[in-house]
Amino acid sequence: MKKKYLLILEYEGTAYHGWQVQKNGLAIQEVVEKALSRITNTKTTVLSSGRTDAGVHAEGMPAHFVTESKMSTGEFQLALNSIFPHDITVKEVRKVPMAFNARGSAKRKLYRYTILNRDFPSALSFRRSWFIPHKLDFAAMRRAAKYLKGEHDFTSFRAGNCNAKSPIRTMDRVELFKQNGFLQFEFEGKGFLKHMVRNFVGTLVYVGKKKFPAKQVKTILEARNRRQAGPTAPPEGLCLIKVEY
């Protein structure tokens, strides 16, 4: 009898060309599917809650698969973690109803972007943060971030090749934190557009560098023009923290 399981995956995305299987490089989805196919002795595919870009990380990426295997959730976790490389881990395996869909059933996602803002880089955090040695105006960035909260047309903050049908999204929570030289940006909402968080951060960094006043973020939103916003922040600072169902 077929059963559906949900994996909660953690990965360090530096070595991968994103989540989705593709021709030009190794993707996390490919690693997961090969491992599942090996332990179930049948070709197995996974569907995630979304896609992360090349170099982006996850603390809690959900992905489901269907199988007739009689393995328990604990056996799946042990078997997968014994096969996976050191930069991919299964944190949890859950049996879910057949109607469950890792993508369609998601109610909220939390992304965190980390910047290291001090005079010298970090040998331990360079794969997980964007190093900016120039002092940023954190207070101005925090003021600017408030304009991103709520429901908006986020055309100015989505990638040019984003194929989402609608640019309307709702940011339920937008918060900035500062500790020991690290700036952390948290964005929480039901759905995100391609490169949306990284474009948010690139624009807020422009505010921090005083290239934009904080209130210009409102003007950028209203312009519905990607060229009005700041650059796309590099992928290494971005991490999918969790998805709620």
Instruction: Identify the burial level of 151 via C-beta atoms within 10 angstroms of its C-beta, where 0-12 means exposed, 13-18 middle and 19 or more buried.
Output: exposed
Range of the domain at 57: 3-96
Same domain, 173 and 90: no
CA dihedral 197, 203, 206, 208 (to 10 degrees): -60
**Confidence at residue 235, expressed as pLDDT on a 0 to 100 scale:** 98
**Structural domain contains residue 103:** no
The catalytic position among 53, 87, 119, 137 is 53
H-assigned helices in 65-159: 73-83, 138-145
CATH of the domain at 92: 3.30.70.580
- 53 classed as catalytic: yes
In a domain, 101, yes or no: no
Please give the sequence-ordered ranges of beta strands (E in DSSP) within the chain, or none if there are none: 3-11, 47-48, 57-67, 88-96, 108-116, 130-131, 150-153, 168-179, 182-189, 238-244
| 92 and 112 share one domain | no
Q: Long-range pairs for 122-126 at CB < 8 Å and ≥24 separation?
A: 125/182, 126/236
pLDDT value, residue 48? 97
How far apart, in whole angstroms, are the C-alpha atoms of residue 240 and residue 184? 13
Give the orientation angle of helix 73-83 with respect to helix 28-40, to 10 degrees: 120
**Domain end: 96, 120, 142, which one?**
96
CATH of the domain at 184: 3.30.70.660
Domain count, the chain: 2
pTM for the model stands at: 0.96
Question: Are 92 and 138 within one domain?
Answer: no
**Within-domain flag for 35:** yes
Task: Give the pLDDT of the chain (245 residues) as one tens digit per residue.
Answer: 999 999 999 999 999 999 999 888 999 999 999 999 999 999 999 999 999 999 999 999 999 999 999 999 999 999 999 999 999 999 999 999 999 999 999 999 999 999 999 999 999 999 999 999 999 999 999 999 999 999 999 999 999 899 889 999 999 999 999 999 999 999 999 999 999 999 999 999 999 999 999 999 999 999 999 999 999 999 999 999 999 99
Please report whether residue 102 resides in a domain. no
